[in-house]
Amino acid sequence: MSPKKRTPVLPYARVTAMALVALVLVVAGVWASWDTAQHVLLSKGREHGTMTVTGCGDEVCTGRFVPAEPAAPSRTDMTIARSVAVEEGGRYEVVVKPDTTEAVRTGWAGGLHAWLPLGGALLLASLVIGGGTHWTRVTWVSGAAGGALLVASFLTL
């Protein structure tokens, strides 16, 4: 009687573990992006307008908000997250987060900026996928999508 051939389990466990790590990275990127992106993507029914930045601190900039609707009053206590894309004296099209004084940029620049964490997560996940699973096509697609998102965001800001 010949011995039964055993299938090694370790390669399957390694691929499964690395695929789960990559999945967790991408889900974390979506989770981190969604807090801002939801206000840009689902802006219907929210307060739109223009914000002129008057001063910046370490993490936020403040300024005057002029709503798009002429009947609504303007406010001077609005804040926007400080980034390389926001400078003192700049005017930006924004949407206001409900029940807050925090504004988020709209349009292509705001949308791409909101998805930056996902772009970074896709790039990092591509390294994990390539090194841990050796799925070449998935690696290239993930890396290209993350890189394209980062480059497009850089160019629009």
Q: Is the residue at 60 inside a domain?
A: yes
3-state helix, strand, coil in the chain (%, to 5): 50, 20, 30
| 33 and 52, same domain (yes or no) | no
| 95 and 59, same domain (yes or no) | yes
Q: Rounded to an integer, what distance in angstroms lies between the CA atom of residue 30 and that of residue 38?
A: 11
- pLDDT range class, residue 27, cuts 50, 70, 90: very high
* Cβ-based neighbour number of residue 155 at 10 Å: 10
The conformation of residue 69, written as its DSSP 8-state character, comes to S
Q: State the residue range of the domain holding 72.
A: 44-105
Give the pLDDT of residue 28. 97
| 92 and 68, same domain (yes or no) | yes
| 49 and 99, same domain (yes or no) | yes
Q: Is the residue at 2 inside a domain?
A: no
Residues 118-137, mean pLDDT to the nearest whole number = 95
Range scoring the smallest mean pLDDT among 3-7, 12-16, 33-37, 107-111: 3-7
Tell me the CATH number at 62. 2.40.50
Of 62, 60, 64, give the one whose Cα is nearest residue 75: 64
| 100 and 49, same domain (yes or no) | yes
Of 147, 98, 111, give the one whose Cα is nearest residue 127: 147
Question: What is the reported pTM?
Answer: 0.82
Q: What is the pLDDT of residues 52-107, one digit of tens each?
A: 999 988 899 999 999 998 888 888 889 998 887 788 889 999 999 988 999 999 98
Q: Is the residue at 110 inside a domain?
A: no
Q: Is the residue at 151 inside a domain?
A: yes
Residues 107-123, mean pLDDT to the nearest whole number = 93
Instruction: Name 145's Cβ contacts closer than 8 Å, sequence gap at least 6.
Output: 119, 122
| 49 and 96, same domain (yes or no) | yes
| 92 and 59, same domain (yes or no) | yes
Q: What is the pLDDT of residues 38-65, one digit of tens each?
A: 999 988 888 999 999 999 888 999 999 9
| 70 and 92, same domain (yes or no) | yes
Type and span of the H or E element at 95: strand 91-96
Structural domain total, the chain: 2
| 48 and 88, same domain (yes or no) | yes
